[in-house]
Structure 1
Amino acid sequence: MSGENQSEDQQVEAAFGQLQQRLAPLFDRIMDDNLLPRTVVVIPSLSLDDEVLQKITGVPHYEERMLSLLMLLRMPRTRVVFVTSQPLPESIVDYYLHLLPGVPYRHARERLVLLTCYDRTSKPLTRKILDRPHLLARIRKAIGSTADAHMICFNVTALERDLALALDVPIFGCDPALISYGSKSGSRHIFTEAGVKMPDGYEDLASIDEAATALVRLKQKHPALRRAVVKINEGFSGEGNALFSFDGAPEGPELEAWVANHMHNLAFEAADMTWQAFAEKFAEMQGIVETFVEGEGKQSPSAQFRVYPGGRIEFLSSHDQVLGGPSGQQFLGCRFPADPAYRRDIQTEALKAAKKLAEKGVIGRFGIDFISVPTGDGWDHYAIEINLRKGGTTHPFLMLQYLTNGVYNPDNGEFTTGDGRTRFYIATDNLESDAYRGLTPDDLIDIAVCNGIHFDAANQSGVVFHLIGALSEYGKLGMVAIGRTPEAAQRLYDETVAILDHASESPDI
């Protein structure tokens, strides 16, 4: 097809594809030499469904989770351009820069450029940037030469693609043309192609009526089925999920009418979700229906990968997710690494899907979630979803990696620091209490230092906080508790919660 006859979208996709061709030679040149100059443009935009996002407490501050990437400033010739919706308090920036091992604060600060939109609205950050030509010009000026620059985003949509083209900087992340593989339906397609076991179900459902039909078919295939899950394709953190109970369901021809009459009884994971809103969102985004995995003692491990330009796959880490909510489908935090009883099995199964994604051209970081059920002599693993974006396990692992100069060994599933010590952690984005409201970033740091829980570079243990900006207004923050053993990490986590609870009641730290 000639250029004149191409649609505008096709021209944009072609231009983006050409821009992305610069990534492979760039990474070949810089990845193995930390002293080579490079510029990393960090765009922590949550370019996701706004209605679902607004159900997350403190979401205006979730851009802060990517401040873990300030650890890139450990590389002495690396520059970071970090763009946010609202100005970052200097105390929060100082907190992260002072964590950098082996790099003086001033040296790192001179290589960091902070730019902001001064816009607190709920529009995606990337949209805000594109709407501000003068800010775009300042970002271009901060980047300088684009030959050694690349962009890192929370997730990549058409907005991030347009920003990359506007800045002439490639993105180390999934091409938005491939993003459907990270939807609930797309995940099931990948698992099918890769031969990875998943809950029985149906995908590509276009309406809530089709979901009802799928529930009927599922119950007919599995007469003993007690519960099933209805999921919106683009839901995240469990907020787009709803549980359907078959308690009292009749057999035979009455089943179809019974299911239709009971669809209004869906139990939503999101606390303020309504039937009407869910049905409309399902019709807008489509979705899936699958069996709800039952089982005493079930766990929710996940595996994280990175695919480099050119297709090389790196297994990054494994985690056990900490889930909550009405039916245990909401992400609250994680433990690292995953249980040794099954972490190798999860790695093997997840790698099958990762290879399939790499074959299709996916690059960047992504995670694959499972439900694992003990069987008495082992575990049954069911793949649940693929997240073609950064998630709740990304920033804790980045912090551990950069703070300790360590590596994850996929052969034994353990993380070893630069001097050979093993480390574990527990992390959360959801440490929340009304009593924490009013605590400022300075208060938090003072509490941590005075109580001896602040991360100590000498013994490479302690607590690192994130989402600090959400603390005073929402009473919410995140943290990573790093310890020498899983038990030590848990003790530190529990101790930190107790310290914060006490400090919020008494100003005498």
Structure 2
Amino acid sequence: MLGGDKSRSKHDEFQKLQSRLPSVWRSFDAQMNSDLDILVVPSLSLDRGELIKVEGCIHYEERLLFALMRLSNPRTRLIYVTSVPLAPIAIDYYLQLLPGIPFSHARERLLLFSTDDYSLQPLSQKILDRPRLLDRIKRSLRPDRSVMYCYNSTAIERDLALKLDTPLYALDPDLLYWGTKAGSRQIFAECGIPHPDGSQLVFTDRDLAVVAAELWERQSHLQRLVVKLNEGFSGEGNAILDLRPLGNPSTHAERVETIYQAFPDLSFQGNNETWTNFQTKISHLGAIVEAFVEGEIKESPSVQGCITPLGTVEILSTHDQILGGPDGQIFLGCQFPAAENYRLQLQELGLAIGKNLAAKGAIERFGVDFIAVPNADGSWDLEAIEINLRKGGTTHPFMTLKLLTNGYYHLEDGLFYSQQGQPKYYVASDNLHRSQYRGLLPTDLMDIIAHHRLHFDTSTETGTVFHLMGSLSEFGKVGLTSIGNSLVEAQEIYHQVEEILNRETQLVNHNSALPIAWKCR
């Protein structure tokens, strides 16, 4: 069989497998009656050159541990696979958050597998490379009562789903283009969504200089341009080109050459990025340029939605993103909900984009990032920046809140309400990061949480839920979602956690003779 025939055969086989999704969808989405096996494969199947910039990236497989809360459905079984074994105390931590379910009952319905492989190879590929492990996972799944859940979907996840004979509740990899920078811009244009002027996709640095010059000529007032790798994420793969030092070249050729010569001076957002390294990625990832949205006051909101296997589009949440890095392009965290000034407008734009994606055959999560700039009359201009067709930094905090409280999102005001009708708010981050946190084990974190009562209180439905605990010891980094009954309360809870962790780790550094648990007493 020729290569093209093999590809078509695999495509047809995958479509046949996916045709089973609608029949399991209602069970997957059920609140208390789900009789389903959920296989969680949190593989970060992303460009390795970009992924390596994220410290402790292998521990980002813990981001989907909120899925353990689906065990609050007493008939649900959950199979969670990771590259390296999870700390037992981290598993216990999540299971003890389950409302109304005995710990032992939930633990019996949870199966954990690990590849024992610390490499940057995607987890899904690690599983495929281990036939015996693959077989054990397959035997743990009930035929026609299972679904696979992942961080992002690529051809590797498709191959794994086929090997396991388990439908993949995620984007068909054939549609990945719509989650790239160039694909996002095309959808914005089709939907009539405002977005920055920019270029088509190019694959050489010389062509990049040409399209940058053309953009500058179209908008001579521009001060800066953003250069983006087509498949960057979380702000990694972005660079800023400052046009102000470049003068005013008189011809198109001079403008192209001036920009080309300025590329080595790009302001990179990623860790330890260089032009030489960035330049090599352009040839295989492609790149675009966009106008940099200026503004003394500028927010970075986003909207999240879901496309069900039945083709319906649901808006899940809005957030204001917390950004950092040299030019404020790196995702550090978020707060929910987005500002009242524009959250309903975000929902409207997100719904239009979701319907466009659904018509193209996309399913599951999508997120759209925007830049918001205020007008003199109090209104806000929203410019769409990119579409993410995967789980993101806003997925796990919102799902943590939803699954912990069994509450609901209210489209009319863009707020989330608990079952008691109390609006809920949160501040979340993957990047509470201090060098002094290095050496903290998950057990040490639990000691601090218990002593200072930092844990989530199920009676008030406020407090903090931690994640990425595995990255603490080596990288000094932990994730957290601080939930309050107002945004101010959520922010206060977050800052309290940060202050206590800083104080406790300083205490250890100055008096290392005693275990941290003794000091807490």
> Is the TM value for this pair above 0.5?
yes
Letter in 2 for 1:96: Y
Q: Equivalent residue of 1:294, what SS?
A: coil
List aligned pairs for 1:226-375, cutoff 5 A: 226-248=223-245, 249-253=247-251, 254-375=254-375
* Aligned residue in 1 for 2:215: 218
Deviations 1:16-66 (A, max 9, x none): 011000001221455446324100000000000111111111112110111
Q: Equivalent residue of 1:235, what SS?
A: strand
List aligned pairs for 1:31-430, cutoff 5 A: 31-32=29-30, 34-143=32-141, 145-248=142-245, 249-253=247-251, 254-377=254-377, 378-430=379-431
Task: Give TM-score, length-normalised by structure 2.
Answer: 0.95
* Aligned residue in 1 for 2:474: 473
Q: Does 1:22 align with 2:20?
A: yes
**Contact 1:307–1:365 at 8 Å: present in 2 too?**
yes
Letter in 1 for 2:153: V
What CA distance in whole angstroms lies between the structure 2 residues aligned with 1:264 and 1:119? 36
What CA distance in whole angstroms lies between the structure 1 residues aligned with 2:389 and 2:22? 19
**Contact 1:465–1:478 at 8 Å: present in 2 too?**
yes
Q: Equivalent residue of 1:252, what SS?
A: coil
**Contact 2:55–2:475 at 8 Å: present in 1 too?**
yes
The alignment yields a C-alpha RMSD, in angstroms, of 1.3
Distance 1:498 1:28, change over 3 A: closer
**Contact 1:250–1:258 at 8 Å: present in 2 too?**
no
Letter in 2 for 1:303: V
What CA distance in whole angstroms lies between the structure 2 residues aligned with 1:209 and 1:64? 41
Q: Equivalent residue of 2:152, what SS?
A: coil
**Contact 1:324–1:331 at 8 Å: present in 2 too?**
yes
Letter in 1 for 2:230: N
* Aligned residue in 2 for 1:502: 503
Q: Unaligned regions of 5+ residues in structure 2, if any?
A: 508-515
Deviation at 1:350, TM superposition (A): 1.7
Count residues in correspondence.
506
* Aligned residue in 2 for 1:463: 464
Letter in 1 for 2:213: V
Task: Give TM-score, length-normalised by structure 1.
Answer: 0.98
Q: Equivalent residue of 2:341, what SS?
A: coil
What CA distance in whole angstroms lies between the structure 1 residues aligned with 2:30 and 2:100? 19
Deviation at 1:5, TM superposition (A): 9.4
What CA distance in whole angstroms lies between the structure 1 residues aligned with 2:326 and 2:448? 33
Deviation at 1:6, TM superposition (A): 5.5
Q: Does 1:489 align with 2:484?
A: no
Deviation at 1:260, TM superposition (A): 1.8
**Contact 1:150–1:170 at 8 Å: present in 2 too?**
yes
Q: Unaligned regions of 5+ residues in structure 1, if any?
A: none
Deviations 1:270-307 (A, max 9, x none): 13111111011011110211000111111011011110
What CA distance in whole angstroms lies between the structure 1 residues aligned with 2:138 and 2:188? 40
**Contact 1:296–1:374 at 8 Å: present in 2 too?**
no
What CA distance in whole angstroms lies between the structure 2 residues aligned with 1:4 and 1:233? 30
Q: Equivalent residue of 1:203, what SS?
A: coil
Q: Equivalent residue of 1:279, what SS?
A: helix
Identity fraction in percent: 45
Letter in 2 for 1:345: Q
Letter in 1 for 2:506: E
**Contact 2:314–2:351 at 8 Å: present in 1 too?**
no
What CA distance in whole angstroms lies between the structure 2 residues aligned with 1:31 and 1:184? 31
